[in-house]
Amino acid sequence: MLHRYLVEVVEEFDLCPWARVARERGEVGFDVVWGTPTAAECAAPAKALLEAGSQVVMIIMPELVIDSIDLHDLRNEVTTLIPSAGVAEFHPDAKLDLATPARLVSYIRRSPDPLLQLVPLSLLASVRGGNPGADRLHQAQIQSGTAAPPKRDAAERIAAANHVTVSAAHETITRTLADIAADRQRSYERVGINVSR
């Protein structure tokens, strides 16, 4: 199910500019943690995948019944166990909120199962570039019109682009997410995975 979400939602709508390349290059590591895992049980396979060279790690928890607040708390615990990686939580019940680009992020992370995504901080720093702020001289030059303003952070640019995309295509994206969720329900029932949430 995660593959469908990544290809049919994230890649299809270009919600992450590096997703397709990372997947096609084999740079994404996956592990499934069953039941109700602790932070340590999520961190152990994540550390192993990062140490093996994965640039993006996804820890999938198909049986975990958890609300978004508790998943955020689990994410915080894993962050303390792996301080060398940025950790993001993805929750299957995230609601659409188009009020601002920042408030849309959780909906974009509406994966079929609760999951944690880890990316080495060194990679995040290289993608984001240097400090986007300007020193006083540069600020004065910007105000006088003799210098260009600093570029926005990559995350801000992506969030703004995603806001435009999802605002235009949210009905199609929501239908795709619903189809993936129904496919998950049928498939998991067929093989005996606990699907109750």
Q: Which residues of 36-51 are buried (b: 16+ CB within 10 A; e: fewer)?
A: ebebeebbbbbbebbe
* pTM, 2 dp: 0.84
pLDDT tens, residue order, the chain (197 aa) = 899 999 999 999 999 988 999 999 999 999 999 999 999 999 999 999 999 999 999 999 999 999 999 999 999 999 999 999 999 999 999 999 999 999 999 999 999 999 999 999 988 877 665 444 445 565 555 556 665 555 567 788 899 999 999 999 999 999 999 999 999 999 999 998 876 55
